[in-house]
């Protein structure tokens, strides 16, 4: 290679590196303790928490405005809002002031009620995900998501969303990763203990980042009670737990990541988690059991 050619090559490498460094971003995991039915109080608390720590992308818990332990559908109706409702508007206002993006879980009122997550930014609503795999009594109140697993291109990389119990179905994270998601924003209301460790595998098998934002506290409503496990975390494409929060405290945890790292799908030089897949050998429909 001639001197000039080598120089151009080095400059190109440096330019790509600088571009990658520029695309490093800061995740703000918000771990809150919502009060059942206190939408305005909960929203104010979330905005206070977000305002206390600067991030590029804030990830908030599932149903973080309404609370979780519903007794009747009419409660969900009363505490739900459209995807461009008052909460989205206030989070857009926050995003505009801070130049950030926000993912938050909410009860969505549309033709049906959905357990949804919205992604908003300085220019407004970017997109909505409707929880595909409803957990336990959620099935009494919400319709299952009907739009699959969409992804969205943000200035720092491609982001997808899944919600809480979606973690137990590997297809959720896989669908997002196959669509090019570099970071999975994962609003949650975890009650079982397995998810925080399981997300290590979800990230490793897809070589993606995941930001799981859980809530804390015990919610008691209409004779039912649930305790949420906190433990919000950010996991890297190599399965490293970059940040993990406590089981019981509200707060914001900041974590700097380089989303470009999730573009590299190799585990070893000859083993690539996407190219090594054998879909022709998989059972994709209903299992043939019994
Ligand atoms: C859950 O999906 N909220 C456990």
Q: Residue 268: beta bridge partners?
A: 271
DSSP string, 106-174: EEEESSSEEEEEEEEETTEEEEEEE-SS--TTHHHH-PPP-S---EEEETTEEEEE--GGGGGSHHHHH
Q: Does residue 170 fall inside a structural domain?
A: yes
| Structure confidence at residue 284 as a pLDDT band (50, 70, 90) | confident
Ligand 1 neighbour 62 (Cβ under 6 A): yes
Q: What pTM did the predictor assign?
A: 0.92
Return the active site residues.
62, 131, 164
Q: Ligand 1 centre from 138 Cα, in Å?
A: 8
Q: Ligand 1 centre from 197 Cα, in Å?
A: 15
For the CA of 192, the nearest atom of ligand 1: 4
Ligand 1 neighbour 164 (Cβ under 6 A): yes
Instruction: Answer left, alpha or beta for residue 145, where phi above 0 means left and psi between -120 and 50 means alpha.
Output: beta
Ligand 1 neighbour 165 (Cβ under 6 A): yes
For the CA of 189, the nearest atom of ligand 1: 3
- Asked if the model's pLDDT at residue 2 lies above 80, the reply is no
pLDDT single digits (tens) 126-168: 999 999 999 999 999 999 999 999 999 999 999 999 999 999 9
Q: Does residue 125 fall inside a structural domain?
A: yes
Q: Does residue 3 fall inside a structural domain?
A: no
Q: Does residue 289 fall inside a structural domain?
A: no
Q: Ligand 1 centre from 54 Cα, in Å?
A: 28
- Number of domains forming the structure of the chain: 1
Ligand 1 binding pocket mutation candidate from 189, 193, 198 (most atoms within 8 A of CB): 189
Ligand 1 neighbour 206 (Cβ under 6 A): no
What average pLDDT score do residues 172-198 get? 98
For the CA of 135, the nearest atom of ligand 1: 2
The pLDDT assigned to 90 comes to 98
Q: Ligand 1 centre from 153 Cα, in Å?
A: 26
Q: Does residue 1 fall inside a structural domain?
A: no
Q: Between the CA of residue 141 and those of 70, 108, 168, 192, what are the distances in Å? A: 8, 11, 21, 20
pLDDT single digits (tens) 47-97: 999 999 999 999 999 999 999 999 999 999 999 999 999 999 999 999 999
The pLDDT assigned to 1 comes to 44
pLDDT single digits (tens) 65-77: 999 999 999 999 9
Q: Does residue 194 fall inside a structural domain?
A: yes
CATH number reported for the structural domain that contains residue 125 in this entry: 3.60.110.10
The pLDDT assigned to 13 comes to 66
Pairwise CA distance, residues 121 & 221, whole Å = 33
Ligand 1 binding pocket mutation candidate from 62, 66, 187, 231 (most atoms within 8 A of CB): 62
Ligand 1 binding pocket mutation candidate from 139, 140, 164, 192 (most atoms within 8 A of CB): 164
- What range defines the domain where residue 188 resides? 25-281
| Structure confidence at residue 5 as a pLDDT band (50, 70, 90) | confident
Pairwise CA distance, residues 91 & 101, whole Å = 9
Pairwise CA distance, residues 58 & 29, whole Å = 6
- Asked if the model's pLDDT at residue 12 lies above 80, the reply is no
Q: Does residue 18 fall inside a structural domain?
A: no
Q: Does residue 157 fall inside a structural domain?
A: yes
For the CA of 188, the nearest atom of ligand 1: 3
């Amino acid at each position: 290679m001639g001197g000039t050619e080598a120089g151009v090559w080095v400059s190109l490498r440096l330019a790509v590196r600088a571009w990658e460094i520029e695309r490093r971003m800061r995740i703000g995991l918000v771990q809150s303790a919502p009060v059942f039915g206190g939408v305005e109080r909960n929203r104010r608390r979330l905005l206070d928490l977000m305002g206390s720590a600067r991030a590029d992308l804030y990830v908030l818990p599932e149903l973080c405005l309404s609370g979780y332990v519903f007794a009747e559908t009419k409660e969900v109706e009363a505490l739900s809002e459209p995807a461009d409702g008052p909460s989205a508007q206030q989070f857009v206002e926050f995003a505009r002031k801070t130049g950030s993006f926000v993912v938050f879980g909410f009860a969505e009122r549309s033709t049906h009620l959905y357990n949804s997550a919205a992604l908003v930014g300085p220019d407004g609503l970017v997109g909505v995900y409707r929880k595909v795999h409803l957990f336990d009594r959620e099935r009494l109140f919400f319709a299952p998501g009907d739009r699959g697993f969409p992804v969205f291109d943000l200035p720092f990389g491609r982001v997808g969303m899944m919600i809480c119990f979606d973690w137990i179905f590997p297809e959720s994270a896989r669908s997002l990763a196959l669509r090019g998601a570099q970071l999975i924003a994962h609003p949650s209301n975890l009650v079982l203990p397995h998810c925080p460790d399981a997300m290590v595998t979800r990230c490793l098998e897809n070589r993606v980042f995941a930001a799981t934002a859980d809530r804390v506290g015990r919610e008691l409503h209409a004779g039912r009670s649930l305790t949420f496990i906190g433990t919000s975390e950010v996991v890297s494409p190599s399965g490293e737990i970059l940040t993990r929060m406590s089981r019981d405290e509200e707060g914001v945890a900041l974590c700097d990541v380089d989303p470009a790292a999730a573009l590299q799908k190799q585990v070893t030089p000859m083993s690539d988690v996407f190219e090594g897949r054998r879909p022709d050998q998989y059972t994709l429909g209903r299992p043939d059991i019994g």
